[in-house]
Amino acid sequence: MRWTLKSKPEKEQVQKLQNELQVDETIATLLIQRGVETYEQARTFFRPSLSDLHNPYLMKDMDKAVSRIEKAIENGENILVFGDYDVDGTTAVSLVSSYLKSFYPNVATYIPDRYDEGYGISYKGIDYADDNGISLIIALDCGIKSIDHVAYANAKKIDFIICDHHRPGDELPNAVAVLDPKRSDCFYPYDELCGCGVGFKLIQALAENRNQTIDDLIQYLDLVATAIAADIVPMTGENRVLAKFGLEVINSNPRPGIKALVQNVKKKVLTITDVVFIIAPRINAAGRIKHGNEAVALLTEFNLEQAEIFASEIEQHNADRKDLDKQITIEALSQIEENNEKEKFTTVVYHESWHKGVIGIVASRLTETYYRPTIVFTKSGDKLAASARSVKDFDVYNALEACAEHLEQFGGHMYAAGMTLKEKNYQNFKNAFEAEVQKTIPPDLLIPEISVDTEIDFNDINPKLIRILSQFEPFGPQNMTPTFMSKNIKDTGYAKPLGKDDEHLKLFIKQNNSEGFGAIGFGLGKKLDLVSNQKPFDAVYCIDENEFNGNVTVQLRLKDLKS
C-alpha cells in the first residue's frame, strides 16, 4: 500500500475557518479539503436542508417531460416506467411508478431480463408496450445511447422520455425529452445525480406542477438514498442532501419492502455503509439471480406481510449469489495463475459458463486481488458480455472507447462499465485493452493507495472531535470517512490475532504518554510481528465509536501499519 498524505491547506485559510466556526485545526483542515471554505458552506455541509435542492426545471427538457406526462394523464394514455435491473434502475422504477400511481392508475412497470434482453432499453420491452397499448415510455437509468431503440418506438407511435445519468454519445436519441445532467447542453447546477436521482427530479417537477411541496415527496427518499449508496456517486451537493434525508426515512419510517430487508439487523441506526452492504446487495440479487421485477415488487409493496415474503425470496437469491460469486472468483483466479497473467497491466478473463449476474462482483474481487483494470466475460446468447471495474483515478470508460472497434456496444462510468462483443473479437479486444492501459496508466495507480487526510497525535482525539466528525456523515466518494495518520505508536502488550486463519489484528495502543485506544485491523493479522514487543510503528486509521452492552468507547479502525 502507498500512503498519500493530502496537501495541507494554507495556514491562514485554516485559521480563518477555525475562527469563524470555533473548531480546531483538524476539523478546519478536513472541511477545506472537502471544498468547505466559508461559514455559509459549512452551514450547508453540517445542516443540509431540502430547501438546498435545485429547481428541477433547470434541467434541460424538464418542461417537455412534464408537459408530455400531463398530456398522457389528461388523455388517459397508458404509461410504461422502464428501468435497468440493478439497484439504481429498480429503485428509480419503483420511485416514479409509485408516485404516478398515487394519482393516476394507467401505469405499468418493465425491467428487462438480464439474460434475455441485456442492459438498457430493449426491442422486446418496446414490443411489450406496443402489444399493451402503451404510448409513452419513461426510461430510467438507461437510454442515453438508445438511438435505434427510440427510433423503433417512434415508428410504432410510442414516445420516450429518457432519464439517465450516464455519459451521452455524440448523438442523442430522438425522444420527447432527454433528462441527463451530463448532456453538454444541460446547465443544471449538479451533474452527479444517479439514475434514481434524475427520476426524483422528474417527480419533483411533476409535484411542483400539481401544487405539491417537497414534504409530499419525503416518503420516496428511502429509495433515492439506497440508489445513491449503491451507485457509488459523489456524496456532495444534492446527493448529500437526498442521502441524509433518505437515511432518516430508512431509520424512522421506511417503506415495507426496505423494512422487511432490515428487520433482523440489530443496529439502532443504519448508516450509508449499512445500505451499501445490507440493503443494496439484496435488491441487486433479484436481477442477478432471478429477475429485477422481484425487486420492484418488493419496493412497491405496501403490505408488510407480503413484503416479508418477497424479502425472504430475495434473501435466498442473495445466498445463491454469494455461492456463485465465490466459486467463479476461485475459477477466475486459477485462470490468471495458469496463464501467467499476473504481471500484466490488466486482468481480462472469460469462461462461457460463468453466471452473467455475478461477473461484475467477480470483477471487483479480482481488482481487489491484483489491483488492475479488470474485465470479466461470459457467454450471452451468440455474443460475449462483460463487466469492467477500474482502480482509483483510472478512467476505464475512456480505455474502452479507445478499443471500441472491437466492441458491439459499451457504456458506463469512470470506474465501472459493461460491454458486449462477438466471440471472434475477444482476443483482439483483450490485446488492444492491455495495450491501451499500458500506454495510458501512470505506474503508481497500479499500487493500492490509502489517501490520508491529515496527520494527528492521539492527544487530538477527544469527545468534541468525535462529535463533529459524526456530523460529516453521510460518507461517500468525495466525502469519505476521515482517515488519519499517527506516528511512533506502541502496542501495550495486548496485540493478538483474531478470526478465521488469524486474519485480523486486535491491539491496545498508545502514543508517548497519551490516552490509550483499542484498535482493530481487519485483514492485518499478518502484521502481528511488526507491532509485538512494543516495537514502534506508524498507523493509518479511522476513528469509530464501538458500542457494547450499552457502553460506548472510542476504537481506531486500522487501515495499514508500517514499522
Does residue 218 sit in helix, strand or coil?
helix
CA 119/CA 142 separation, integer angstroms: 8
Q: Which three cell numbers, joined as nine digits, stand for 40?
A: 455559509
- Whether residues 119 and 226 fall in one domain: yes
- Whether residues 248 and 304 fall in one domain: yes
6 pLDDT above the threshold of 80: yes
Least confident range of 156-160, 281-285, 498-502 = 498-502
Q: What integer is the mean pLDDT of 204-213? A: 96
Of 324, 317, 436, 424, nearest to 375 by C-alpha is: 436
549 pLDDT above the threshold of 80: no
342 pLDDT above the threshold of 90: no
Is residue 323 in some structural domain? no
Q: So what's the pLDDT on residue 268?
A: 81
Half-sphere exposure of 345 (CA within 13 A, CB side): 19
Place of cell 495463475: 337
Is residue 333 in some structural domain? no
Q: How does pLDDT run across 62-83, given as a tens digit for each residue?
A: 999 999 999 999 999 999 999 9
Where a domain ends, among 407, 431, 446?
A: 446
Q: So what's the pLDDT on residue 117?
A: 85
Q: So what's the pLDDT on residue 167?
A: 87
Q: So what's the pLDDT on residue 137?
A: 98
150 pLDDT above the threshold of 80: yes
548 pLDDT above the threshold of 80: no
Is residue 330 in some structural domain? no
Q: What integer is the mean pLDDT of 306-334? A: 94
Tally of domains in the chain: 3
CA 50/CA 183 separation, integer angstroms: 25
Q: What integer is the mean pLDDT of 287-311? A: 93
Where a domain ends, among 390, 415, 446?
A: 446
Is residue 331 in some structural domain? no
321 pLDDT above the threshold of 80: yes
DSSP 241-254: HHHHHHHHHHHHS-
Read off the CATH number of the domain in which 368 is found.
3.10.310.30
Q: How does pLDDT run across 162-175, given as a tens digit for each residue?
A: 999 998 989 999 99
- On average, the pLDDT of the chain sits at 94
Q: Helices 195-209 and 221-231, interaxial angle, to 10°? A: 160
- Whether residues 457 and 438 fall in one domain: no
Half-sphere exposure of 139 (CA within 13 A, CB side): 33
Read off the pLDDT band of 339 (50, 70, 90).
confident
Read off the CATH number of the domain in which 513 is found.
2.40.50.460
Q: So what's the pLDDT on residue 109?
A: 97
One-letter amino acid at 425 equals N
Query: How many other C-beta atoms lie within 10 A of the C-beta of residue 446?
Result: 15
- Whether residues 536 and 409 fall in one domain: no
Is residue 16 in some structural domain? yes
- Whether residues 437 and 456 fall in one domain: no
CA 424/CA 176 separation, integer angstroms: 38
- Whether residues 395 and 438 fall in one domain: yes
Q: How does pLDDT run across 455-510, given as a tens digit for each residue?
A: 999 999 998 999 999 999 999 989 999 999 999 999 998 889 998 889 999 999 99
Q: What integer is the mean pLDDT of 360-364? A: 93
- Whether residues 150 and 37 fall in one domain: no
Q: So what's the pLDDT on residue 119?
A: 80
DSSP category for residue 115: T
Q: How does pLDDT run across 250-274, given as a tens digit for each residue?
A: 999 999 999 999 988 888 889 999 9
By residue range, what is the domain housing residue 540? 2-47+450-562
Is residue 484 in some structural domain? yes
Read off the CATH number of the domain in which 111 is found.
3.90.1640.30
Where a domain ends, among 424, 446, 468?
A: 446
Counting residues of the chain whose pLDDT is more than 90, the rounded percentage is: 86
Is residue 558 in some structural domain? yes
Is residue 320 in some structural domain? no
Q: How does pLDDT run across 105-118, given as a tens digit for each residue?
A: 999 999 998 888 87
- Whether residues 435 and 491 fall in one domain: no
Q: How does pLDDT run across 13-50, given as a tens digit for each residue?
A: 999 999 999 999 999 999 999 999 999 999 999 999 99
- Whether residues 370 and 303 fall in one domain: no
Q: So what's the pLDDT on residue 458?
A: 94
Q: How does pLDDT run across 516-536, given as a tens digit for each residue?
A: 899 999 999 999 999 998 899
Q: So what's the pLDDT on residue 199?
A: 98
- Whether residues 232 and 345 fall in one domain: no
- Whether residues 305 and 344 fall in one domain: no
CA 128/CA 110 separation, integer angstroms: 9
Whether omega for the bond prior to residue 442 falls within 30 degrees of 0, making it cis, is no
- Whether residues 76 and 153 fall in one domain: yes
Q: So what's the pLDDT on residue 216?
A: 97
Does residue 548 sit in helix, strand or coil?
strand
